[in-house]
Homo-oligomer: A and B are copies of this chain.
Amino acid sequence: MDLYGKDFIVSQEWDLEELYELLDLAAKMKRDRYSSRWTRILAHQTFLMFFYNPSVRTRMSFEAAATELGGHAQFMTPSAGRFKTDKQAGETIEDAAQVMARYVCGIGIRILEDKVPHYGAGNEMLREYARWSNVPIINMADDRFHPCQGMADVMGWAEWFGEGPGRPDYGNLKGKNFLLTWGSGSLARSWCSVQEALLVASRLGMNVTVARPDGYDLDPEVHEWTRQNCGENGATFSVINDPETGYDGAHIVYSRNWVTADAYQDGMLQKQAEIERAMAHTGWTATVERMARTDNAIFTHPMPVDRGNEVTDEVASGPRSAVYDIAENRLHVQKAVMALTMGNL
């Protein structure tokens, strides 16, 4: 298996064996974080982080990942340059990507729904960079997918259902019940993390339930892939519209706010309208009472957590919260992605 030069845009486009290769390396890197086995892999090389949208966690974890591999992550935003659009003269992605690829060993891009005129346009832009760049494009979250988050999620779940930090047991996730539930709140959040979670949970053989208010369906193609993944694993996939029953017998609870499919109007994300729409659905919160209905479920979330809305403090800071472990895993899976696709392992 040779992953050198491969883009990482959505987990669904990598073979299962490729994902396991990545996850295995991430676990080894977590067990022995600063070992000289890893600290020369990208020695003196540059990874470019290109942020159309800012981020604390994504920047911190990618920048630390590059440093721990012996390299350096450069921070860049499009505001530093002038890009060609329908309305202004500037540089094309064809030119920008080909030049970037001369300087760096890989390019991470983050572009979310508020920076593009319609759903999917962010993901399309990543693929345009991938077309012109001959170094790997790593998705640091676009408007559809967030593969590094998905890998960190599943690594964290497998650690909690395995032998602890750095000792995940992926086999043990098969047949477990995964609840993804919409969460209340005013953050009008992206689909990328929850969609990637559906894909990885179903890919690894979990029974998947999505609970959301009517009108909050996600991308039909993601639903279709999830259904297909579940089918191949003999697992179930269901969508429900009440905030309670999904908890019954769940092993993993993922509660998070997201916008509706009608969020775009006139080529712009209507964030305020989405906030108002969400306000009609209070009480979609992961509480201790609801968690008590589960089969001793862990609580998972990609952070930042909207405490009091998506989840109560008691659950988010409680003994079954996997959120910090999963945040940490961003670092380890990203080191593994970079090592495999750029480091020529």
Task: Check if A125 is an interface residue, CB within 8 A of chain B.
Answer: no
**How many copies of this chain does one complex carry?**
3
Nearest B residue (CB) for A76: B56
> Which residue of the partner chain, among B45, B67, B68, B305, contacts A91 with CB atoms under 8 Å?
B305
Most buried by B among A39, A46, A98, A316: A46
Could you tell me if B44 and A70 are in contact, using CB atoms closer than 8 angstroms? yes
A155 and B79 CA atoms in complex are apart in Å by 29
> Which residue of the partner chain, among B39, B74, B75, contacts A64 with CB atoms under 8 Å?
B74
Nearest B residue (CB) for A94: B317
A249 and B82 CA atoms in complex are apart in Å by 34
Binds B, one of A5-13, A100-108, A200-208, A262-270: A100-108
A103 and B325 CA atoms in complex are apart in Å by 11
Could you tell me if B328 and A89 are in contact, using CB atoms closer than 8 angstroms? no
Task: Check if A71 is an interface residue, CB within 8 A of chain B.
Answer: yes
Task: Check if A3 is an interface residue, CB within 8 A of chain B.
Answer: no
Interface size class of A (residues with CB under 8 A): 35 or more
Could you tell me if B54 and A95 are in contact, using CB atoms closer than 8 angstroms? no
Beyond A43-B39, A72-B63, is A102–B55 a contact (Cβ under 8 Å)? no
Give 1 or 0 for each of A49-89: 1 = CB within 8 Å of chain B CB: 00000111101110110011011101110011110100001
Task: Check if A307 is an interface residue, CB within 8 A of chain B.
Answer: yes
Residues of B within 8 Å of A303, CB to CB, are 91, 95, 99
Beyond A81-B304, A89-B185, A303-B99, is A74–B46 a contact (Cβ under 8 Å)? no
Task: Check if A186 is an interface residue, CB within 8 A of chain B.
Answer: yes
Can you identify 11 A-B contacts, CB atoms within 8 angstroms? A34-B43, A34-B44, A46-B64, A56-B81, A75-B75, A81-B304, A89-B186, A91-B304, A91-B305, A92-B307, A99-B327
Nearest 7 pairs between A and B by C-beta?
A91-B304, A56-B81, A102-B328, A54-B80, A67-B72, A99-B327, A46-B64
